[in-house]
Structure formats: C-alpha cells, structure tokens
Chains A and B, each alone.
Chain A
Amino acid sequence: DGGITQSPKYLFRKEGQNVTLSCEQNLNHDAMYWYRQDPGQGLRLIYYSQIVNDFQKGDIAEGYSVSREKKESFPLTVTSAQKNPTAFYLCASSSRGASYGYTFGSGTRLTVV
C-alpha cells in the first residue's frame, strides 16, 4: 500500500543532543513537508521541499535542518539549537494537481528529558 511512514513513533532525547526523524513515502510525490504541532494548536510549517536537492524554510525553521537527497525521503534533524523541541512532528507529501490534498504520516512524538 502506498503511504508515508514516519519513524520512530515516540522519541526521547536529552537536552543538548541532536536527533533525526525519518519520513519516507512511496507515493511518487514531488513535494514533502514537515510540520510541528503543540498541544491545542494547529500545525506550523518547519521546512518544505518541492523537488529533490531543494528545500525552503517554513515559518519556524530555526533549530531544525533537513535534506532531500532522494525523492522518497525527507529526514528532519532537531538540533540542540531548538530551544523547545518537545512536540508532535508530522510529515506530509503532495502531488501537484491532486484533488485529495496532502497525505500525512502518523507522526513522531518527541520528548526532551
């Protein structure tokens, strides 16, 4: 079945450590996105990529980094520079012109301990 896979589902990190969240899709979508969701809030865009080897900052990119070396993969690194990283992270992908919107992964819940 086609879809987006995020891993891990739950992640614990000590302060000062970098951590990488995985996002893989087999939908042949060109565009991929990373969002952050805090309790009681909507989704905020961190980074997005329209094509391989290219990506743009979203609204809250500080303290995060991404890469897009393959069409299927868009990993997100949460660096030690991110002051408040505890949140729910969602990855999404889309195909231009699609009538069904964006497809989301099941998310990764990151907790800093």
Chain B
Amino acid sequence: EDKVVQSPLSLVVHEGDTVTLNCSYEVTNFRSLLWYKQEKKAPTFLFMLTSSGIEKKSGRLSSILDKKELFSILNITATQTGDSAVYLCAVEYGGSGSRLTFGEGTQLTVNP
C-alpha cells in the first residue's frame, strides 16, 4: 500500500530553536517529493525534490531527499512565530496517471 508518514505529528518550540521535520514514504514509481506550509487555508509550496542528496534551500528553510532510504527532512533554523503552521509532505508517484499523496502533517508551534 502506498503511504507517506510524517513525524512528529506536533512540535512546540521557542523562537530561535532549530527544528527538523521528517517524512518517509513507500510508493510505486516515485516521481517527486514536495513540502508545503499550511497556515489557515490553501497549502503554499515550499520545495520539490526529485534527486537524492541535493539540498534545496530558501532562507531559513532547507530540505533534502534520500531516495535509497525513502526519506526526506525539512529543516527550519532560527524559528520565528510566523513559522507556526502545519507542514505537509507529499509524494507524487505513478505512471502516466501520476497522483499526489499527503502525509498527516506536522503541526509546528513556535512560542515567543
């Protein structure tokens, strides 16, 4: 059965802390792994990863994919209260009719 598993499901930290969010997957015909941030409504795109070992970076956020271990991490350094959100990991897979399956998400709360 195809699945995407995120951990932890929730995390509470203080401003300035560094956090690591985890995503593991088991799918057939992997295409890409995506990270999204969801605050109140629609998820907003953070990263798309297709190759192992290549870190993608955007400001304080970075992510890397390990296709051998079927795993990805999302790092956030020097966290701010504005980073509080649900972080969703999703995997695109399949042949001609690819689809996107999401994990349950990690609820991150950053306290001042």
B105 in complex: contacting residue of A42, A100, A105, CB < 8 Å = A42
Contact A45 to B99, CB < 8 A, known contacts A101-B45, A105-B42, A107-B42: yes
Residue among B36, B43, B98, B103 with max Cβ neighbours from chain A (10 Å): B43
CB-CB < 8 A to A59: which residues of B? 101
Q: Would you list which residues of chain B between 24 and 60 have a CB under 8 Å from chain A? A: 32, 34, 36, 41-45, 48
- Number of B residues with CB within 8 Å of any CB on chain A: 24
A101 in complex: contacting residue of B4, B6, B34, CB < 8 Å = B34
A107 touches B102 (CB 8 A): no
List 24 A–B pairs whose Cβ atoms lie within 8 Å, in order of A's numbering: A31-B98, A35-B102, A40-B107, A42-B4, A42-B88, A42-B102, A43-B43, A44-B102, A45-B100, A45-B101, A48-B99, A50-B96, A50-B97, A56-B97, A56-B99, A59-B101, A90-B43, A94-B100, A100-B45, A101-B32, A101-B45, A102-B45, A107-B41, A107-B42
Interface residues of B (CB under 8 A from A): 4, 6, 32, 34, 36, 41-45, 48, 88, 90, 96-105, 107
B42 touches A33 (CB 8 A): no
**CA A104 – CA B36 in complex, angstroms?**
11
- Number of A residues with CB within 8 Å of any CB on chain B: 27
